[in-house]
Structure 1
Amino acid sequence: MIGLGAGPLRLKAPCRIVWTREEERYAGWAYGTLPGHPASGEESFVVHLDDEGDVWLTVTAFSRPATAAARLAGPLGRVFQRSYARRCGTVLRRLARD
């Protein structure tokens, strides 16, 4: 279960891991949404080390609104999704530095 926000404004988003990948230069995972999640879809996060030693994070997502509230949010849902992906990137960068 993913949870975003705090207190009574916390949004619960049930999901499950649908695949993982761990190779010499790649690591990643994807989750699919479950009933109760505001969207219906999948999101993947893959970290790749290229030949120059640079680290890349690729986030791929596809979804559609699954609840009335998500449908009413309209384009704000996409803004939220991008914000979540950026937050994940920030956390991964911090973890890589430590």
Structure 2
Amino acid sequence: MRHNTGFTYAEQGLTERPYPAPMTDRWPAGYRLVLRKAELEVADSQAGFLRLANGLLDWDLHRRAGLYVAPGTPRAAPGVDMASGVGVWRVRYYAPCRVIWAAEAALDDDGAPVRGQRSGFGYGTLPGHPERGEEGFYAELDEAGRLYFRVAAYSRPGNRLVGAVNMVNTRVQQFYTNRYFAAAYRLASGS
């Protein structure tokens, strides 16, 4: 467990799951857990993996899912602060986060991605975020060359107001998680 300052929760770094670490255990108690995985069937899974991995780390997944990420936000790397926003024009609500871990794609000597790896990042909530917790985004290329996108998150309401409308907040999270999966397919397929 990491003890970085500024986060709004204590259980940091639990989304860091290098391949082939299981995604189903070692989650903190008292949080709502989201674990989703989908195989992305694209013409070239290795090229799709690289497109998806770069799209995750460069915030393209978030942008394609309909979230606002400020131009110039650095590539995901430990310690990078970012805030995704929802809203219209200049009227936006921002959810600040800090990247806890990031994994670049591992390549062989020919520049092709190595099979049996996960690339992506995990970020945790900072003050001002409606939730407390962490979310990880993963591009996965298994040993057989199949491409997967995964999301793993543990969260709970960040304050009483969010807790009071938790059903609405949960639906918003589901909405954006669905959009992440659609965006991941578009990234991996190059569309």
TM-score range, shorter chain: 0.7 to 0.9
Runs of 4+ in 1 over 3 A off after TM superposition: none
* AA of the residue aligned to 1:10: R
Q: Unpaired segments of 5 or more residues in structure 1?
A: none
Bigger relative contact order, structure 1 or 2, given CA contacts below 8 A and separation 6+?
2
Greater share of helix residues, 1 or 2? 1
Residue 33 of structure 1 corresponds to 125
* AA of the residue aligned to 1:94: R
Map residues 2-81 of structure 1 onto 2, 5 A cutoff: 2-7=84-89, 10-22=92-104, 23=106, 24=114, 25-81=117-173
Residue 29 of structure 2 corresponds to none
The alpha carbon displacement at 1:64 in A equals 1.0
* AA of the residue aligned to 1:65: P
Identity %: 37
The alignment's C-alpha RMSD in Å is 1.8
The alpha carbon displacement at 1:3 in A equals 0.6
The alpha carbon displacement at 1:82 in A equals 2.0
Greater share of strand residues, 1 or 2? 1
Give the Cα–Cα distance (whole angstroms) in 2 for the partners of residues 28 and 82 of structure 1.
Answer: 20
Q: TM-score, structure 1 length as denominator?
A: 0.85
Residue 88 of structure 1 corresponds to 180
The structure with more radius of gyration = 2
Q: TM-score, structure 2 length as denominator?
A: 0.47
